Amino acid sequence: MSRRRVYVVGAYLPNGGTLMAYHLGRILEEEFGFEAIAVGVGDETPDHGIHRYDLRMPIVALAQMEREITRDDVLIVNPSFSSHQFGWRLPGLKISYVQGFSTYTLLDRRLDHYVSVSEFVSNFLRTVYDLDTRIIPPFVDFGNLPPPRPWAERPETVVMPYRKGIPEIWEESYRHLRRILQERAPHITLAEPLGASALPQHDFMARLASVRYLLTLSAAEGFGLVPLEAMAMGTLVVGYDGFGGRHYMRPGDNCLVVPYPQIERVAELLIDAVDNPSRSAALAQQGREASRSYSREAFRLSWIDEFSKFFKPAG
């Protein structure tokens, strides 16, 4: 008898959201006996060099998945693929790990089950779509982190901007911030923004760990995994909370963030952080400790519990 299949849409796309979807397929294969299959939406492969994939899923094209999926199979699909309207058209149990609120025009509301990445996303789904969802945050892969550079060895006045989000909003925020810093704090150096080019995850984390301050100006995030990864590397996060970042960001306790579009306040916080390194070091340490709650094992156990509502664990 052939195994039930779990199809993961975009499993090998090189971004954090699809990486989490990949891990859902992996959990269903390793813990529940499914055959995990990656659904390619372009020409992506697991060899793009950004993330590491311990389980190599076979890849099928989108059209092939639509022909082959049956009512006994499972579809894992992120909300960014809502335009495909899989919920209306395909059989099987269709599960969406909702990791954002700004990557789709209208949520595919005909899927069977939804899980939210953060409290903000859960509240958004409840308000807009009348959906009550469990919250399971993503994880930081602590087993594959480079050693963080000691705070005292990091450059004192260098800030690493992180480029993500709606480009026009990011650029305007960054332009305004640079003008304020040039006028009020010319001693602060803004490094080449991180995120403009793809880096292997280990190298990316090493870059986060090379500076004291990460500047995040992404206005709208379902969660915001990179700032949490920066916290895990002992780097102080300054900037916008992205709304979803409020799940783990505690301004003045483990980071220095404000809601979009308070860029003048971001500038004030950044200047104060650089000019008060001892306080900033303490905040960075608090951020590092806060990040430890978001482990891969916590993610795995939460999803095993969630999937157990539908399937019996293998063995």
Structural domain contains residue 181: yes
Structural domain contains residue 312: no
Task: Determine the pLDDT at residue 197.
Answer: 65
Task: Determine the pLDDT at residue 312.
Answer: 94
Residues 225 and 303 placed together within one structural domain of the fold = no
Q: 201 lies in which domain range?
A: 143-291
Task: Determine the pLDDT at residue 3.
Answer: 87
How far apart CA 227 and CA 167 sit, in angstroms, is 18
92: left (phi over 0), alpha (psi -120 to 50) or beta: left
Placement of tokens 């992506």 in the chain: 44
Structural domain contains residue 314: no
Residues 135 and 149 placed together within one structural domain of the fold = no
How far apart CA 297 and CA 141 sit, in angstroms, is 9
Residues 128 and 179 placed together within one structural domain of the fold = no
Task: Determine the pLDDT at residue 1.
Answer: 52
Residues 111 and 195 placed together within one structural domain of the fold = no
> Residue type at 64?
Q
Count of domains forming the chain: 2
Residues 93 and 183 placed together within one structural domain of the fold = no
In 3D space, the residue among 245, 240, 313, 231 whose CA is nearest the CA of residue 280 turns out to be 231
Structural domain contains residue 131: yes
Residues 182 and 194 placed together within one structural domain of the fold = yes
Residues 226 and 165 placed together within one structural domain of the fold = yes
The model carries a pTM of: 0.96
Structural domain contains residue 42: yes
Residues 155 and 232 placed together within one structural domain of the fold = yes
Q: pLDDT tens track of the chain, all 315 residues?
A: 578 999 999 999 999 999 999 999 999 999 999 999 999 999 999 999 999 999 999 999 999 999 999 999 999 999 999 999 999 999 999 999 999 999 999 999 999 999 999 999 999 999 999 999 999 999 999 998 999 999 999 999 999 999 999 999 999 999 999 999 999 999 999 999 998 668 999 999 999 999 999 999 999 999 999 999 999 999 999 999 999 999 999 999 999 999 999 999 999 999 999 999 999 999 999 999 999 999 999 999 999 999 999 999 987
CB atoms within 10 A of CB 133: 20
Cis status of the peptide bond prior to 167, with omega within 30 of 0: no
Residues 212 and 301 placed together within one structural domain of the fold = no
pLDDT (tens digit per residue) in 57-87: 999 999 999 999 999 999 999 999 999 999 9
Cα-Cα-Cα-Cα dihedral sign, residues 116, 117, 119, 125: negative
Question: Are 86 and 111 contacting, i.e. CB atoms less than 8 angstroms apart?
Answer: yes
CB atoms within 10 A of CB 25: 25
Residues 147 and 253 placed together within one structural domain of the fold = yes
Structural domain contains residue 116: yes
CATH number of the domain where residue 21 is located: 3.40.50.2000
Task: Determine the pLDDT at residue 196.
Answer: 60
Task: Determine the pLDDT at residue 195.
Answer: 87
Backbone angles phi, psi at 19, to 5 degrees: -60, -40
Structural domain contains residue 235: yes
* E strand or H helix at 35: strand 35-40
Structural domain contains residue 313: no
Task: Determine the pLDDT at residue 174.
Answer: 98
Question: Are 186 and 271 contacting, i.e. CB atoms less than 8 angstroms apart?
Answer: no
Strand segments, DSSP code E, in 157-287 are: 158-162, 189-190, 213-216, 236-240, 256-258
pLDDT (tens digit per residue) in 143-152: 989 999 999 9
Question: Are 229 and 208 contacting, i.e. CB atoms less than 8 angstroms apart?
Answer: yes
* E strand or H helix at 206: helix 201-208
Residues 152 and 244 placed together within one structural domain of the fold = yes
Residues 107 and 212 placed together within one structural domain of the fold = no
